[in-house]
Amino acid sequence: MAHVMGPEKNQRIETLESSARSRRLSNSALEFFNQCLNFGRSVLPQSCQLCGAEGAPEPLCAACRADLPSLPSRRCTICAVPLATGSFCGSCLDRPPRYERVEAAFLYDYPLDALIHAYKYGGRLALARLLGTALAQNVARDVDVIVPMPLSRGRLAERGFNQALEIARIVAGHTRIALLPEACRKVAETPSQAALPWKERARNVRRAFVCDADLTGRKVAVVDDVLTTGATLNELARVLLRAGAAGVRGWVVARTAR
Ligand SMILES: [Zn+2]
Ligand SMILES: [Zn+2]
């Protein structure tokens, strides 16, 4: 692991080690100390996840962080899709969704797509903090509870974690809004939405969710990583409203353009 550390950090560790020696720590204590250092090296991100620059304090260096695509200010009031003109997209005008609106931190575009891919499929869990913190900074916090977009059992076993839940934990920490990780379950193993034509997406997720919580009178924010058509959010909103929710909002890290 030494090759990923900057010379400054090496120096600091050497200083720590020599001061430990000078205090005549026993061998076993020094060994324990070294194990702690190794553990720290293995869990702390040492280089930028996008460009590989070393010594980045976060998963991203400052330049890559500044490159993340923000959502244009002209967008649909309801589903947040970028618009050339007007306040509502045609789809929300034709068939208003069950959710009130979508709030997003970023536009789903390069290089954020690469980052989310690394997070979901490369298991880069350190990225949840970055994505969740950015999301928390871009939402109106007037909801009562946070519900993560559920993942089916099969998908959970395959991936090892629910990407929406890990982001939701960070958002809940920042906003101090209660997180209900177990409120909803995905009971149907639906094919990935990405593999389907847009028109089939709503049918694909129908009756995919069950809500076990009583949400009477509560405003709910559903946290997810990416929103594309909104079909999945719309179906979960239906179930949440049936469980008594006073309103449902989508909080997503990234919104795709249409
Ligand atoms: Zn970078
Ligand atoms: Zn819309």
What was the pLDDT predicted at 188?
84
Ligand nearest to the CA of 66: 1
Query: Rounded distance, CA 183 to CA 160, Å?
Result: 19
Q: Which residues are paired to 223 by β-bridges?
A: 148, 251
CA 130 to ligand 1 center in whole angstroms = 13
49 Cα–ligand 1 center, Å:
7
Question: How high is the pLDDT of residue 7?
Answer: 42
The pLDDT of residue 231: 93
Closest to 237 measured CA to CA, from 206, 201, 194: 206
Coil, helix or strand at residue 169: helix
Cα 157 to averaged position of ligand 2 atoms, centre (Å): 33
The mean pLDDT value for 61-67 works out to 91
Tell me which ligand sits closest to the C-alpha of residue 68.
1
Lowest pLDDT segment from 1-5, 72-76, 126-130: 1-5
Indicate the SS3 state at residue 255: strand
Side chain identity, residue 250: G
* Mean pLDDT, all residues of the chain: 84
Read off the pLDDT band of 44 (50, 70, 90). low
Ligand 2 centre and the CA of 204: distance in Å?
A: 20
Give how far Cα 201 sits from Cα of 28, 168, 208, 228, 240, Å. 59, 24, 12, 10, 19
Neighbours of 207 (CB within 10 A): 11
CA of 103 to the centre of ligand 2 (A): 12
Could you tell me what percent of the chain has a pLDDT over 70? Answer: 81
Q: What are phi and psi of 160, to 5 degrees?
A: 90, -15
Q: What is the CA radius of gyration of the chain?
A: 22
pLDDT at 43: 54
Give the Å distance between the CA of 99 and the centre of ligand 2: 11
> Which pLDDT band holds residue 32 (cuts at 50, 70, 90)?
low
Selection from 185, 180, 256, 186 nearest residue 221 by Cα: 180
| CA–CA gap between residue 79 and residue 92 (Å, rounded) | 7
Tell me the CA–centroid distance for residue 167 and ligand 1, in Å. 21
Question: Quick one: pLDDT at residue 29?
Answer: 55
User: What are 196-235's pLDDT values in tens digits?
Assistant: 787 777 777 888 999 999 999 999 999 999 999 999 999 9
pLDDT band at 46 (very low <50, low <70, confident <90, very high): low
Residues with Cβ–ion distance below 5 A, ligand 2? 76, 78-79, 89, 92
Nearest listed ligand to the Cα of residue 64: 1
pLDDT of residue 59: 86
| Nearest ligand, CA 230 | 2
Q: How far apart are CA 162 and CA 152, in angstroms?
A: 9
Residues 212-223 pLDDT 10s: 999 999 999 999
Ligand 1 center from residue 56 Cα (angstroms)? 8
SS3 154: helix
Ligand closest to Cα of 78 equals 2
Q: Which ligand is nearest to the CA of 62?
A: 1
Nearest to 253 by CA among 180, 192, 186, 163: 163
Q: How far, in Å, from the CA of 73 to the mean position of ligand 2?
A: 14
148 CA to centre of ligand 1 in angstroms? 29
d(CA 38, CA 32): 10
Higher pLDDT, 165 or 57: 165
The yes-or-no verdict on residue 24 having pLDDT over 70 is: no
User: Residue 36 has which token pair?
Assistant: 């702690």
Ligand 2 centre and the CA of 219: distance in Å? 20
What stretches of the chain show up as alpha helix (H) in DSSP? 7-22, 27-43, 62-67, 90-94, 112-121, 127-136, 153-159, 163-175, 198-205, 231-242
Q: How many Cβ atoms sit within 10 Å of the Cβ of residue 21?
A: 10
Are the C-beta atoms of 145 and 177 separated by less than 8 Å? yes
